Amino acid sequence: MMKMKNIFYIISFVLLSSCNYLDVEPTGKVIPEKVTEFRAMMTSAYSKYPAYKHLLAMRADEVFPFTGEYSAYDRFIDFAIWNDNSPSMQETYPWLSLYNVIFYTNSVIDDVMSADVDTYDDTREQIKAEALLLRAYSHFELLNLYAVPYNPMTAVVDRGIPLSTKIDIEQNFIPAKVEEVYTQILSDIEEARDLLQIEEQPANIRYRFSKKSALALEARVRLYHAEWDNALALAEELIPMCQLENLNDASAISPYEVSSKEAILSLERVVSSAVATETYVLPNLKNQYNMMGDLRVSRYFLNTDDALVPNKCNSDNMKVTFRSAEIYLIAAEAAAHVNGKLDIAKTRLKELMKNRLAESYYSQKASEIDGMSQEALITEIADERARELALEGHRWYDLRRTTRPEIVKTYKNQEGITVTKTLMQDDSRYTISFPSEATTNNPNLKN
């Protein structure tokens, strides 16, 4: 018999005035009993994963909204100048939406293994594994949005985010410590990897996790957790499975497309249509590229009369969460931090660049990389991450987990007045504050 808690299974996940910040208001009652019904629930969980990485591109040093006859300015200016919890915000960073996804995954994790088998095309183990991985990824994103950057010296006491690992609407949602959140994330990944049945998903359902994308997720998590040896080992395990598109070949598919041979997990639409049409690339990003020798410029951007503007990841055939290039960059960054592995770091970085740069420019860059010290190489890898993964949601996280530099943005507002806004070195706004509606409804989230 299914548990009584299953009466909550469909699920309008709304923020109510209660002692907790999360509550559940059921709008219907669906009690999954069969494998296909749990697959349908996981499909719903995937479909509810929010689109928000464009807001992080605005927050970082990548793009800025045009003024004038563009609606994007009013939509995005608060994000671009770090004006958090502004009442004028038309969008928000994900909070409730990510916990909504987690709620679905908890429902699957709790009960799918007792489901009736009604198909030979799917398994209880695969569905549970995907739920564990999606829960891990959602907690990981929440942690990197709303918790202080990971510091191995203080992570056991630093405030993280609330963990949600069970369906209990009476529980108190209290922020766990940063290290506790990482422990839960890695535990979910480990359990999932023992259950996974699918090596790699076909392109039409590549939004679903597989053995390959589970490795990619763990490699990213280990990198952010500063586990250099483990991140390197995972990336090196993956690289033989990670082909690269060679942009020197005019017929090559853009590496961020779902149909690209680089695609590993294609869950998120990371650039909105407004970002693609109503923002321009900031000098901080534009100046990273050699405009003649870097073949990504024409693939990732459009050169207009006024500015360089985004031209990637803005349609459903360009959804991207993990792809091959990131794995090479994880290997390079991790190896650069491990004694005696500098040659591996240089090799992986050059392998990626060879597929992205015109041949003459690559020869120049390869020679420069060969002569780099460890410090210079780590900086170059960070710059290459900015170039390769532009607008895909990585840059803000990379800035906050590494040097947290000063960012200065000078622009003209809607009245034509020149304004300068500055995010200081190590600014507290490198951590996004919990949403005001969440702290209002849950005193446990207040400082």
Look at the alpha carbons of 217, 221, 226, 227 in this order and tell me if their dihedral is positive or negative. Answer: negative
What does DSSP say about strands 23-28 and 159-162: parallel, antiparallel, or unpaired?
unpaired
Q: What local confidence, expressed as pLDDT, does residue 297 receive? A: 97
Token reading at 442: 């849950």
Tens of pLDDT along 107-158? Answer: 999 999 999 999 999 999 999 999 999 999 999 999 999 999 999 999 999 9
Token reading at 360: 């003459």
Evaluate whether 400 touches 224 at the Cβ level (below 8 Å): no
Closest CA to 389 of 271, 218, 239: 271
The contacts of residue 389 (CB under 8 Å, 6+ apart) are: 325, 326, 329, 395
- Residue that the structure tokens 């995954």 belong to: 105
Tens of pLDDT along 82-94? Answer: 999 888 888 899 9
Q: Which long-range contacts (CB under 8 A, 24 or more apart) does 405-409 make?
A: 407/60, 407/61, 407/284, 409/61, 409/64, 409/80, 409/81, 409/282
In angstroms, the CA 391 to CA 124 distance is 36
In angstroms, the CA 91 to CA 79 distance is 9
State the Rg of the chain over Cα: 22
Beta bridge partners of residue 418, listed in sequence order = 412
- Residue that the structure tokens 């502004």 belong to: 86
Token reading at 318: 């360009």
In this prediction, the residues of the chain whose per-residue pLDDT falls under 70 are 1-30, 169-170, 447
Residue 131 to residues 46, 193, 431: CA-CA distances in angstroms?
9, 12, 27
Q: What local confidence, expressed as pLDDT, does residue 173 receive? A: 87
Query: SS3 string of 79-98?
Result: HHCCCCCCCCCCCCCCCHHH
- The one-letter code for the residue type at 243 is Q
What pTM does this model have?
A: 0.94
> DSSP assignment, residue 373?
-
In angstroms, the CA 94 to CA 90 distance is 13
Question: Where do the domains of the chain lie, and which CATH numbers do they carry?
Answer: 4-224+244-320+391-442 (1.25.40.390)
